[in-house]
Amino acid sequence: MYIAEGIEANRRLWEAWTKGHQRSEFYDVETFAAGKSSLAEIEIAGVGDVEGKSLLHLQCHFGLDTLDWARRGATVTGVDFSQSAIDLAQALSQRLNLPARFICSEIGRIAPLEDEQFDVVFTSYGVLSWLPDLTVWAATIARHLKPGGFFYMAEFHPVLGMLDDDGEEIAYSYFGEPEPIVTEETTSYGGAQHEPLACYQWGHSLSDVFESLTAAGLTIESLHEFPFSPHQCYGFLVEYAPGRYVAQRYPGKLPLIFSIKARR
């Protein structure tokens, strides 16, 4: 229920967000163009050296992180379901002379890739809640990993998603529900403003993520949890050190980010 309707609504939402994000302080495209990394310390350390490796970035938005991996020596492919995001990613690739391939597709059977495989599959920050079915997501990861290759993700912890807008009370279940949380949005996490648009999001626990990956044939090598976020995507997060944000009411007491590394 709501899956097809929700995906199309979310596509419209991300089309609107992309138009605002390319000019936003949150993404700061011009600083990135001047050489600043868009990647955070967590994923830089977790993925490691990518020189000479092929890397598939799922749910890449408009490709800043994808292009950052290209700067670090990877041969990169980015996938996103928003055509506006893919168009902007391609324009940035050409402008910055950073070779990259970008594909507009939902997670699932990514037709242009067929059964192409990569050394690394990567995804990060705010990706899981847009997926109604982690089984399809995990199968996509496994399909496109070379034998011996690895998957790496850094993501907002599901505990963070339980809090209300003020970060003070538990408003949502830790355990995902079959039906999505449906809201009406006029401003994105990155400050993009637009007309009211529907937003559909699905909750997933850590065990949901873990079990979907192992069921797809991947072996979990590491699971880490972090008491800070490298991104200010929630109004109740405050900066306590450069590039590190904590929940104002519960500083250092809640897991805000988790990472998983899994190998085929």
SS (H, E, C) 56-114: EEECCCCCHHHHHHHHCCCEEEEEECCHHHHHHHHHHHHHHCCCCEEEECCCCCCHHHC
pLDDT at residue 141 is higher than 70: yes
Rounded average pLDDT over 33-53: 98
The set of residues, in sequence order, having a beta carbon less than 8 Å from that of 23 and lying 6+ positions away, is: 29
In the chain, where are the structural domains located? 3-263
Rounded average pLDDT over 54-63: 98
Element at 149 (helix H, strand E): strand 145-156
What CATH code would you report for 3-263?
3.40.50.150
Q: How far apart are CA 170 and CA 239, in angstroms?
A: 22
Q: How far apart are CA 93 and CA 64, in angstroms?
A: 9
Q: For residue 136, with 0-12 CB atoms within 10 Å meaning exposed, 13-18 middle and 19 or more buried, which class applies?
A: middle
Residue pLDDT, tens place only, 68-94: 999 999 999 999 999 999 999 999 999
Give the global pTM. 0.96
Any idea of the CA torsion for 229, 235, 238, 241, to the nearest 10 degrees? Answer: 40
Q: How far apart are the first and last CA of the chain?
A: 32
Rounded average pLDDT over 43-61: 98
Q: How confident is the model at residue 1 (pLDDT cuts 50, 70, 90)?
A: low
155, 150, 172, 186: which is closest to 20 by C-alpha?
186
Token pair listed for 79: 């996938």
Summary mean pLDDT of the chain: 96
